[in-house]
């Protein structure tokens, strides 16, 4: 599955119903067998902006594409300088009430599985178990494009800090992909490092860049989760990128109910039984309280 470099999506003008009532979500989850598909909107309350909301990152920032990263040493230098700075914020971010609510629903058996489009690892830090499927990978791992070696991001950060003792840049905000805006002068002074396993390989975060393929085994795991689910609950995603939207289509085509909770219209509204306009932390906290009472 290729993650198409679709950075923006504009509503077609068609009207799809929306509500502020949580009843459709409560009814959906109360019966169990629900798979959650989460997007950047669930992490905004942890201080990580989304891409496409009112203050979304795409208004100021264009995410790195795979072709740019793989084809240009200059692009890689720019990426690692900015991502090194952004990692400090990403690694310090804490799960919010929305992440904790999903973990509670997974533990109670109401949620059968979690697929996240996010790369921040906050579902895992909230205690969601068993495994969350990171559709687009995770920033806490690094892969060598030459030899395929996987390593921990913490080790890379240690090496980058040692290689750049004079790097003192500061960022005002971090983007959902862990990138930040940084002056060209700071970028030019930054020294990336090579893979320690093979000695010369190009290191890349183990995340799916725009224009890159989502690994097939991961796609198959997501399809299996959706196929085995009774229903699909989408949390905080505009579903602009096809890699997430196709699971909504798959569920709807199989006759499974889909409920979307998002602040703003989504590309999947036509497939939803309901689209709820609500802040996720408060909405999911109430959901946990209500299904726990049922």
Residues labelled as active-site residues: 136
Residue 19: DSSP 8-state? B
**Most distant CA atoms of the chain, gap in Å:** 59
Q: What angle do CA 138, 139, 140 make, to 5 degrees?
A: 90
In this structure, are residues 124 and 132 in contact, taking their beta carbons and an 8 Å threshold?
A: yes
In this structure, are residues 26 and 231 in contact, taking their beta carbons and an 8 Å threshold?
A: no
Q: Are strands 203-207 and 137-144 parallel, antiparallel or unpaired?
A: antiparallel
Residue 46: DSSP 8-state? G
Count how many residues are written for the chain. 294
In this structure, are residues 51 and 57 in contact, taking their beta carbons and an 8 Å threshold?
A: yes
C-alpha pair distances (Å), 31 with each of 27, 54, 104, 110, 234:
7, 34, 15, 7, 16
């Amino acid at each position: 599955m290729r993650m198409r470099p679709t950075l923006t999506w504009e509503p077609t003008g068609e009207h799809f119903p929306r509500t502020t009532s949580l009843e459709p979500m409560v009814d959906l989850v109360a019966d169990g067998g629900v798979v959650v598909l989460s997007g950047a909107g669930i992490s905004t309350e942890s201080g990580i902006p989304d891409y496409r909301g009112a203050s979304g990152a795409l208004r100021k920032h264009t995410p790195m594409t795979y072709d740019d990263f793989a084809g240009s040493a200059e692009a890689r230098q720019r990426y690692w300088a900015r991502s090194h700075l952004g990692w400090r914020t990403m690694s310090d971010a804490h799960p919010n009430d929305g992440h904790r609510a999903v973990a509670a629903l997974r533990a109670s058996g109401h949620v059968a599985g979690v697929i996240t489009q996010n790369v921040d690892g906050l579902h895992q830090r909230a205690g969601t178990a068993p495994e969350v499927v990171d559709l687009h990978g995770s920033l806490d791992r690094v892969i060598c494009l030459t030899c395929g070696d996987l390593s921990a991001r913490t080790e890379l950060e240690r090496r980058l800090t040692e290689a750049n003792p004079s790097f003192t840049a500061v960022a005002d905000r971090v983007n959902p992909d862990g990138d930040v805006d940084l002056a060209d002068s700071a970028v030019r002074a930054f020294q990336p490092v090579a893979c320690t396993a093979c000695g010369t390989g190009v290191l890349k975060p183990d995340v799916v860049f725009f224009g890159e393929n989502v690994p097939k085994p991961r796609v198959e795991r997501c399809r299996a989760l959706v196929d085995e689910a009774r229903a699909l609950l989408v949390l905080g995603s505009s579903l602009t990128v096809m890699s997430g939207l196709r699971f909504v289509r798959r569920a709807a085509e199989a006759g499974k109910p889909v409920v979307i909770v998002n602040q703003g219209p989504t590309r999947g509204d036509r497939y939803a039984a309901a689209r709820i306009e609500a802040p996720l932390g408060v909405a999911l906290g109430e959901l946990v309280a209500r299904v726990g009472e049922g």
